[in-house]
Structure formats: C-alpha cells, structure tokens
Chain A
Amino acid sequence: MTAVDLPGPVLARDGLADVPTSDDTQTRKDYASDQEVRWCPGCGDYIVLNAVQGFLPDLGLRRENIVFVSGIGCSSRFPYYLDTYGMHSIHGRAPAIATGLAITRPDLSVWVVTGDGDALSIGGNHLIHALRRNVNLTILLFNNRIYGLTKGQYSPTSETGKVTKSTPLGSVDRPFNPVSLALGAEGTFVARTIDSDRAHLTEVLRAAASHRGTSIVEIYQNCPIFNDGAFDAFKDKNSREATVISLRHGEPVRFGPDGALGVTRDSVTGSMRVVEVADVGESALVVHDAAADDPSSAFALSRLTDAGALQQSPIGIFRQVEQPTYDDLARQQVATAQGTEGAGDSAGLAALLAGTDTWTVA
C-alpha cells in the first residue's frame, strides 16, 4: 500500500473561523432555554452551565450555528438547557455523532458534553478516535468520578478501593486519568479545569472553543449526592495553593504558598516530580510548553495527578498544538475532486452510471 502527502493542510485558523457571527448583542438570557433545570441542588453541573451560558455571548456567534451534542448521564442533560440546537443522544456515542455533524457542517460550532462514564467507559473508543482524528469539536468531560444517573456505582475514574453500591468491598480496577488518556491519543488541545473556579473555567473554555481540532476539557465536577467532596482538596481556600499545580504556557511550573513548590523533570526517566523550589532553585523548574509538538512532557505533567483520593493535580492547558483537522482535510478532498473533475451534475451522473463498458441494443 502506498501513502500520499496530503496537500496544504489548513492551519493557524481559529476553530470558529467558518462559523457566522451575530450582529446582535447577546446576553446570557439568550442562551437559556425554556426548560427547567433538573440537577440535584448543589450539583457542579449548575456552575458549568452558568459559566457556559455566561461566556457564549462573548463568542458572538449566531446562536443557530451552535450545537451541543451529549451522551447519557447527569451532565448529558446539558443541551436541553441551552437555547441552541442540541441533541441528547445515546450512551457514549456523542463524539461519533458530533464527528458526522462537524465534517458536513463547517459553519457550526459543535460541542460535546459527556461524563466520565459516558466518555471513558461505554464511549471510550469514540473518544480516542475523535482525538486521534482531530475533528473540529469541543468536548467537555464532566468528571465526578462516580455514576450519578444510575445512582452511585463506581466509574472508570473512581479511585481503586472505592466502596459503592456495586463494589461493597471496594473497586479493584485502576482508574483512568482522562488527561493522560487524551494525551496518549495525541489530542491537540487537552486541558483540565474545575467547576468551582469560574474564571479559570471560562478562560479554558474560550481557548478550547477557538482551537481548530478536537479540544477536550476535563472538568472536575462535584456530585454532592454520590461522591461529595471528591475535589475538596482543590476548593478549600487554605489548601488550594498547595494542591492546584497551575499550568501556564511559557512559565515555570510553580505553585504552593509563596510559590514554594515547583515541578522538575528527572533527567533519566523524564518523569516529573514536585519539589521545594528552595531545594533546587528556580532555574531547575520545568517551563511549561503547551505548544510542544511532542506530547511527552505534557503527558509527564499529567502523571502528577493522584490516582487515588485527589490531593494534588495540575490544572490548566496541558497541550495546545496546531495540526490539520480531519474535517478540513475531508472537505478539502471533496473540494479538490470537484475542482479538478468538475462538480457532479446530471451529465456527470449519466457518465458515471454508464461507466466505460456499455453496449446498445437497437
């Protein structure tokens, strides 16, 4: 089999470049649908919905050109609450459905809303392939580390030993780290944020929306009913400074009270670890490069998240690189064929049907 060099990939374009903008000034109210929001009181989903409704007007897009596609789970009710086009689909399949939509409709801003069970368990295959293809989608992965809608079974991100209804003696399987998984699939935009930090959430979502290609944002989302406090370490005002490893492109990875902590790379293994800056000096710290073509450093950073109960985790944009998107290239092949062979019309159809070997019966 042969491989060909694909001509002129479309790069350096905003993810929303083909989406028509609105002349009207929009407000958050424009994005609220008439449906009553029905998550449990105190659910982290409310905060994310608020943040999204709050920041969508800033994008200035025509509302009718925005589509939210979700799977199944608590967070997947999201599309019902936004006055855009939306589809509440089936368990795990939203990335596949959104892929077909994004390929055929470059004029849409396509969002996928999913959860840890939806994206990483039943829909794991679609997620990694969307990331691998780099389809122009923005995926919001609400990670509450539990199954909420089915009332409290452990999820593929639950810590080992999790005692739930389905694992009374503790779960025995290891959890996925969603960011590591996405980087393993060479996702071109991979970020993590947290429901309680509205400013950070909004900033990351905005960057994700304008990234051309598949953006995935893991959102730590508290489920007060079945897994309350899973992310408390990052919320508590007193502990937060020492637990949130804040990632900023081009800056040394430094955190903790008075910036006393930082991250260095082991020169032999390449893995990252948390150190006291006083012990190593600032120059030894890793400078975060989200734009690095090679995802290895971003992956190494992602390993700083605890697999068990969360005590420390990097938050921010791990990777943001420009690569050709599947949908741009697929459309380009159609356009090129139409350019060189002429767009198919009825004469072309007649010629196609006839092929090269015909005969005539008088």
Chain B
Amino acid sequence: MTRQVKQLDRVIIRFAGDSGDGMQLTGDRFTQDTAAFGNDLSTLPNFPAEIRAPAGTMAGVSSFQVHFADHDILTPGDAPDVLVAMNPAALRANLGDVPRGATIIVDTHDFSARNLAKAGYTENPLTNGTLTQFRVHAVDLTTLTVEAVKEFGLTRKDASRAKNMFALGLLSWMYGRPTEPTTEFLTTRFGAKPTLRDANVTAFRTGWNFGETTEAFAVTYEIKPAAMPSGRYRNVTGNAALAFGLIAAGQQSGLPVFLGSYPITPASDILHELSKHKRFGVTTFQAEDEIAGVGAALGAAFGGALGVTTTSGPGVCLKSETLGLAVMLELPLLVCDIQRGGPSTGLPTKTEQSDLLQAMFGRNGEAPLPIVAPRSPADCFDATLEAVRIAVTYRTPVMLLSDGSLANGSEPWLLPDVADLAPIDPDFATAPNARADDGGGSFLPYLRDEDTLARPWAVPGTPGLMNRVGGLEKADRTGDISYDPDNHDLMVRTRQAKVDVIARSLPPTEVDDPGAELGRGARMLVVGWGSTYGAIGAAVRRVRRDRRQVAQVHLRHLNPLPPDLGEILARYDRVVVPEMNLGQLALLLRGRYLVDALSHTQVSGMPFKAAPLADVLRGHLRQLDGQPAVQHSERHPAAGVPA
C-alpha cells in the first residue's frame, strides 16, 4: 500500500476520555515523544476537580491538548485538528471546539444506548449525521486492545485499560513520533508488574501497526523539527520548573531551602517534586494547615533558611496575616501562589489570574510586597530565581504568581548553564552595626542599607546581635516597640519605599514593536502579565500578518512596576490589557499612570485563545482608525470589544 505523506507546519491534537482512561498520561507521553523529535510544543491539560467523577459522564471528561510545530509557537492552540474521543461523553464535551474538516478518532466501544444516555445523547452521533462535517475514524479501540493483549491473561478490565496506549500508538504512527521513549517509559513504569508492562507495550505497538496496516488511515503527516536556538532541551511543566528554580536558588544563595506547605490544587506538585530532592539540602514540611505552612517557612527564614510556601488563592487568604508579620519582620520569604479559578473554592483545576489584587493589597494595613509573575512553564524557573533574589536582597516576602495553566502546561526548555546562574548573596549580619553609649559595639536590627533600604538579617546563633522582632510597630533603627506617631508614619513610608526601590534593579522593559526603530511604530500597545504571554503573543502575530502594527509588553514585575513603564504607556494612543480576571492589572495601570488602559477580560477558567483575542485587537485597531470595532464576520462570543 502506498501512503501519502503530508507535510504540515503545525498540528493540534486533543486526547479526551474518561478520568479513568489515562488521558493525561497519554498526552504526556505524546508530548515527550514530540519533544524528543524536536518540534516546538505547548500543552494544555484540562481535568475535572473530582478524582473519579461518575464514569462515562460529561463531568468525568479529562483531556490533554498538545500543539506542536516546525516553528516556534506560543500557545497550546485554539482548536484541535485531531480529536481522540475515548467515549461518548468525551466526544460531546469536546465537539464544540473542533473545527469543520478536522479529524475525529472515536473509540466506538462505549457507544451503547446506556452510555450514550449517560453522556446526554438521545441518538448515536456516529450514525445520525452529527459528524458529517468531520473526517471520522470510528474504531472499536477497546476490543482491538483486548484482543491484542489476550495472551497476557489479564482481566478484561485490566486489558481494556491499555486502550490509551493503543490510541497513543496509532497517533504516534500518524505523526511519525519516535516509539522508543514510550516503550522505555512503560518498561520502567510497570517494571514490577511484567504482565501489565507487556500488555501496555503490546497495546502501544499494536496501535502503531494498526495505523500501518489499515487502509482507513491513508495519510501520515510529517511535521519537521522546529528551528530552535541551539542547545540542550527538555520538556518541563511550570510546577517542575518552579521547584527546580527553588533548588537552584538554594544553591546560588547557599541557603538551605525550607518549604512549608499544605496540599492544594494546583500547587501540590511543587511539594511533591521538592520532597524528592532532599540531597540538595531541601526540607519539605507538610503542615497542618496553610497558616502553619507559611508560619514554619517564616520561622525557618528567621533562622537563616530560604523559607518558601506554596499554595493557591484560598491558601493565600489564610496566610495573609503571616505575610503581614513577614512585612513587619522584614525577612526573606517566598510565597508561590499557583492561581486557580475563584472566589472561594472556585475552580480548583482551572486557571485564572484573579489573585493579583489580593497579592497587592490583601493584608491589613499598608503592607506592600513585591510580586513577580512567570510568563510560560519554563519561565517559572527564571521567575523563581528572580523572586528569591528580591526576597533575599531586600529582606521581604515576595509573591510569585503562577497559575494552573502554567503549572500543568509544558513546553521545551532550553536548559540553562548552571555556571551562568547569578549568585544570590544572603549577606548575613555578623557584627555590631552601631556604637553603644559605653563605646562598645551595639546592634540596631532596623538600621537600613542606604541603597536597598534592607535591614540586617541577623540570625540566631550570631553572638552579640541578640534582638527581638515582632508584629508590633518597630522603632526606626532600634526595632524596639514604638507607638510614636511620627515613627509609625516613617516606618509605613519606609516599608513602601523599600519595595519601590526594587524598581531600580529591574532591566529596561522589553517592548515588542518591530516598526518603532524605523520610526513607524504601532499606535496600540497590548500589555499583559503572567500566563497570557503565549496567547497575547500569538494574537499579536496574527494581527501583524494582516500587516497591521501592534506593540506588546509583557510584565514580569507587577510590584514594583518597571520604572520605564509610564513613559512607554504614554507613547501609545491606545493601551489594551487582556487578563483572565475582571481587569486587575488595568486598574493598577490606570491608578498609577492615569492612562486610559482598556481592559479585555475572560474568566472562563480556560486560557485565552489566539484567534478571538486577535479579533479583539483588530477591533481596537479599527476603532483607532475611527471605524466601528466589530465587523460582522469577526463576531465571536469570547471577543467582547468595548463599543
């Protein structure tokens, strides 16, 4: 049989099935194999908060989308080119996202009347014409898998569970993925259970062979490796990169890392990852609650460790009193908030950027703390190092704002050269810093460094520097309790000033405005922060493909904001701020710079998609041209543009 090999520059595949079907693992393996092949990629896992929602229902559908390409890409992609649906519910839950003409591979095994009903179908979509606009491959993957692994004598249930590997094998064949990494992976994973190992490897191979030998699949696809900067790569999730950043920060500062944490989605994987790396002097403490997690981290920081706590929005609420104490004590402390949909318990497994104002202001009194936000999964590594640099240098709690999509999403990471990582100097106080009345040395725990306004970090065990700190207002210099009105005024302003001076250490803001150097810069600037970097970048690229000018700035530092930002904002006629909240950064920019920042918001628990976001930007550009914002052909439900 001659096969047609079609060249593609990029593909988006979504694996969808029941929570128990192993879709996250399948997606993850496809991603690893794709990374090994050398494509650029970006992923979006999407799963329910329930561990095992009722099987076969819409509530139980779990999916994993991977976007890979022969060029550099920024997002997990808007709409899948291929949907793999392992049951009726997975089909129904995802069909709305699948564009006409796309390929759908369906496991027909569960399309019984009962299971169709569970998914809310009254008729069988495979036979009633629902799918005529798609290229459908309806295959009983389950039965094929059970047949293939018969020889291993597994129960029918165990045998059918290998169907995800069958599907993976089939897709691997279609897209020319290497098979060795997955075979190796399965061998290690099921090493202790040889029958399961053999069954899974066999299912995987059979899936591959099924593609090879069945005429149904007439085409295979080739996506050439991407031309990426040279170097050594791995694939990494945001949570793993953050954990590695903490370990690296410990090494670069020479401080033992102490993580005090209480399990919470989507932050727990950082606790899991760190707990595996004790040889780097990392201590992980699973506390009795969120408050104890941050309290223990602060206690460790008092003792001279790199104190860290990891959490999500609800946990930040509980920690806020301790953060206020850390602001008063002026000790280094890192709080990693892996944001999720809120308020309250909200959407534990979905993403949102709605804790920005909580991070800024969510404490009693004037209690400023620096905020750093990573922009992509791999960037979580660098952002963590930057947050630790600020915490240690300025003796302050720092909030690192990641989110669910960064935490679980992954991308290729050009591995840093460890020798190039900047050192972080804890600069512990070791000697008196003042003269006592009797002429001897004395120690003033709140005497500040002139440049950084940081106070000395004198840890217990240091002779001669014994001092008492606490949450009551401190007298300037001595740190004694003080109720003096002028002193309080001074200290409040000084704590703010200490955060403000961090701005001096920030590099110039990168403005992506290709025409600017030739004097033909854009009139409109898009400003974002955090995980929206990819989607905004992709939307900006789309707009530029229309030969329209648009500039992009993506903020890493939310507090303090970069010193040149006001001047940059003032250069543009229009500033648009897309956020996965109701306009929190826009509020800050408006308040700080009196700039008419226009908010574009989405709080669906899902990341922005590039196409609708590009439409929003186009609408703004038309408005700048004096035309109505919305063209009929572009109207999209998620693309609200201010009139």
Contacts and interface: CB of A to CB of B under 8 A. Distances in A.
Interface of A: 33, 35, 62-67, 69, 72, 79-80, 82-90, 93, 96-105, 107-108, 125-126, 129, 330-331, 333-334, 336-338, 341-350, 352-355, 357-362
A88 B472 contact: yes
B418 A104 contact: no
Contact of A359 (B233, B301, B469): B233
A1 to B, nearest CB: 14
13 contacts: A64-B463, A80-B470, A100-B260, A101-B302, A104-B256, A108-B460, A126-B295, A334-B278, A337-B278, A352-B277, A353-B244, A357-B235, A359-B233
Contact of B415 (A69, A96, A358, A362): A358
A338 B349 CA distance: 35
Contacts of B279: 334, 337-338, 341-344, 348
Interface string B16-53: 00000000000000001001101000000000000000
Interface in B220-271: 225, 228-236, 244, 247-248, 251, 256, 258, 260
Nearest to B287: A96
B639 interface: no
B248 A349 contact: yes
Given A97-B298, A105-B460, A346-B419, A126 B292 contact: yes
A345 B299 CA distance: 26
Interface of chain B, main secondary structure: mixed
Nearest to A334: B278
Contact of A87 (B235, B296, B302, B321): B302
Contacts of B304: 104-105
Contact of B296 (A85, A99, A348): A99
Which of A72, A79, A88 has the most chain B CB atoms closer than 10 A to its own CB?
Answer: A88
B146 interface: no
A100 B258 contact: yes
B302 A361 contact: no
Which of A65, A93, A97 has the most chain B CB atoms closer than 10 A to its own CB?
Answer: A97
Contact of B291 (A65, A96, A357, A359): A96
A357 B251 contact: no
Contacts of A347: 418
Contacts of A104: 256, 258, 283, 299-300, 303-305
B307 A354 contact: no
Interface in B454-513: 460-472, 480-481
Nearest to B188: A356
Contacts of B480: 35
A346 B181 CA distance: 27
A101 B281 CA distance: 15
Given A80-B468, A104-B256, A96 B295 contact: yes
Given A337-B278, A342-B279, A357-B234, 4 more contacts: A87-B299, A341-B279, A353-B416, A358-B234
A100 B325 contact: no
Given A334-B282, A359-B38, A125 B292 contact: yes
Given A93-B295, A129-B288, A357-B36, A346 B251 contact: yes
Contacts of A90: 321-322, 324-325, 471
B415 A100 contact: no
Interface of B: 32, 35-36, 38, 181, 225, 228-236, 244, 247-248, 251, 256, 258, 260, 277-283, 285, 287-289, 291-292, 295-305, 307, 321-322, 324-325, 329, 381, 415-419, 460-472, 480-481
B324 to A, nearest CB: 8
A344 B251 contact: yes
A344 B281 contact: yes
Which of A336, A354, A357 has the most chain B CB atoms closer than 10 A to its own CB?
Answer: A357
B397 to A, nearest CB: 14
Given A64-B465, A334-B281, A357-B181, A344 B247 contact: yes
A88 B299 contact: no
Given A344-B280, A357-B235, A67 B248 contact: no
Given A100-B297, A341-B279, A89 B251 contact: no
Contacts of A101: 299-300, 302-303, 460
Contacts of A126: 288, 291-292, 295
Which of B251, B292, B416 has the most chain A CB atoms closer than 10 A to its own CB?
Answer: B292
Contact of A353 (B256, B302, B415, B470): B415
A125 B291 CA distance: 10
- Shortest beta-carbon contacts, A-B, top 9: A88-B470, A100-B296, A100-B299, A344-B280, A96-B295, A97-B299, A96-B292, A337-B278, A101-B299
A338 B460 contact: no
A358 B35 CA distance: 8
Contact of A88 (B305, B381, B468): B468
Contact of B463 (A62, A67, A108): A62
A135 to B, nearest CB: 10
Contacts of A343: 279-281
A27 to B, nearest CB: 16
A87 B295 CA distance: 12
Contacts of B322: 90, 93
Nearest to A85: B460
A100 B463 contact: no
B481 A80 contact: yes
A99 B281 contact: no
A233 to B, nearest CB: 35
B470 A79 contact: yes
A137 to B, nearest CB: 10
Contacts of A333: 278
Contacts of A72: 471
B325 A89 contact: yes
Nearest to A126: B292
Nearest to B259: A100
Given A334-B278, A337-B278, A343-B281, A63 B466 contact: yes
A362 B463 contact: no
Contact of B230 (A93, A331, A341, A362): A362
A100 B466 contact: no
A84 B296 contact: no
A87 B468 contact: yes
Contacts of B292: 93, 96, 99, 125-126, 129
B278 A358 contact: no
A82 B298 CA distance: 21
Nearest to A132: B288
A96 B291 CA distance: 8
B303 A108 contact: yes
Which of B38, B296, B321, B468 has the most chain A CB atoms closer than 10 A to its own CB?
Answer: B468
A79 B468 contact: yes
Nearest to B229: A361
